[in-house]
Each structure stands twice: as C-alpha cells, then as structure tokens.
Amino acid sequence: PASPGIFSAVEPLSRSLKRLGKPLTGDDGIIYACSGRFFNAFTSNGSMAWSLHLNYTCNGSMAPVYGGKRKVYIVAENRVLMINSLNIGTPEPAVEPFFGNESAE
C-alpha cells in the first residue's frame, strides 16, 4: 500500500465496532437485531427502543424469529434464547434459554 499508516490507524477502530446482525421486523413494527452480546430493538424511525445484554454472543448471520406475543427467538452460541420483551423492567427474566446447553456462564 502507498500509505501503510492509514490502514494501521483504521484497523483498531474497525475491531471495536459492532455490526448489527440480520434484522427481523415484528408485527408491532419494532425492528429486532443482534450485535455481539446485545439484542437490540428499534422503533420504525430508527431510534433505539431498548437493548438487552446477553451472556452469549448472537449469531448475526441468522435473523431472529418472531414467536408472537412479543417473544423473539435468537441463536446465540450453541443455544436458542427466548426474548420476552413484556418482561423487560419486571422481576421476570427477559432472556431465557429455550433450547440447548442451559449451563450458566
């Protein structure tokens, strides 16, 4: 490359960026997508509705699956997680293992 310094300056920045995985648009108009260890929901105008930290890394190449009643299923590492957005902000868990290895990290 003509300017190797340009590439070395850009590389650390690109490693710290997280990309959104394949999205799902729910019947409520909310757009759901994973990014690393976060599951995000966006309103139809693109603003963040909410974000959940996960104990596992999402498989961003697979879109979430809408399960009705504000439930979304995602593949994260070697398991399927169920996200229940109705439980966000309540004592009930918003993220639960649905299928796969259920051992805690």
- 105 falls within a domain: no
The helix/strand count (H/E) of the chain reads as 1, 8
- 30 falls within a domain: yes
pLDDT in the model for residue 102: 57
* pLDDT over 90 at 54, yes or no: yes
Query: pLDDT tens, 77-100?
Result: 999 999 999 999 999 999 999 998
- 6 falls within a domain: no
* pLDDT over 60 at 8, yes or no: no
Average pLDDT over residues 50-57: 96
Contacts (Cβ under 8 Å, ≥6 apart) of 29: 43, 44
pLDDT in the model for residue 69: 86
The residue segments making up the domain with residue 45 are: 18-100
- 11 falls within a domain: no
Number of domains in the chain: 1
